[in-house]
Amino acid sequence: MNTFLASPKALAGYTAHTYNRAQRAFQCCPFYLNLFRAMAQASVPLPTIAGAGGVEQGFCGQALTENRVERELMWLIQVGLLRREVDGQGITDSFRLTPLAKQILAQYPGEQRQFPSPSLLDRLQNRLARWLAPLATLLVRG
C-alpha cells in the first residue's frame, strides 16, 4: 500500500505521480535527513558522503563506497530531487536540492533523523522504477 498521497497544497506545481515517486525515492535511499538538510544550505561533495566520513557526519548509517553513493545520487537526480553543482571549470562532484526536494524535506521536523521506513510495496515500486528508467530512456530515443 502506498504510504503517502500528496495533498493539493503539497504538490505546488507537481503531479501527484511525480511527487509520490520523489517521496518514495527519498524514503528508499540509504541516506539520512542530515545529508539533505546540508544540501539545502550548500552543495555537498560526493567524497564527503562516501566512506566513514558520511557516517561521522550523520549522512548515512553505514559507510558506502563512492560508487554506491554516486549511483544513489544519480537516481535522486533522475527523480528530480537533486542537481549537480558545476564549478567554473565544469567539474561536478557536488550536489544540491531541487525545489521539489525542498518541498518534501520541509515536511520533516529538524529533530527527525531518518525518513519513515518505506513499505515493502514502496520498496518494490522504487526498485522497479529504477530498473525500468534506462529502458524508458532508450524507448524515447528510439
Q: How far is 64 from 51, CA to CA, in rounded Å? A: 5
Quote the pTM value: 0.83
Residue with cell 542537481: 83
Strands 82-85 and 44-45 turn out to be: unpaired
Q: How far is 56 from 25, CA to CA, in rounded Å? A: 23
Q: How far is 54 from 5, CA to CA, in rounded Å? A: 31
Q: How far is 130 from 115, CA to CA, in rounded Å? A: 19
**Contact between residue 21 and residue 79 where contact means Cβ atoms under 8 Å apart:** yes
Residue 101 burial (10 A CB sphere; 0-12, 13-18, 19+): buried
**Contact between residue 79 and residue 88 where contact means Cβ atoms under 8 Å apart:** no
Domain ranges of the chain: 8-110+117-141
pLDDT 10s digit of each residue in the chain, 142 long? 344 545 545 567 889 999 999 999 999 999 999 999 999 999 999 999 999 999 999 999 999 999 999 999 999 999 999 999 887 777 778 999 999 999 999 999 888 899 999 999 999 999 999 998 776 666 666 5
- 52 Cα distance to chain centroid: 20
Degrees (nearest 5) of the Cα angle 123, 97, 48? 85
CATH topology of domain 8-110+117-141: Arc Repressor Mutant, subunit A (1.10.10)
Q: How far is 35 from 54, CA to CA, in rounded Å? A: 9
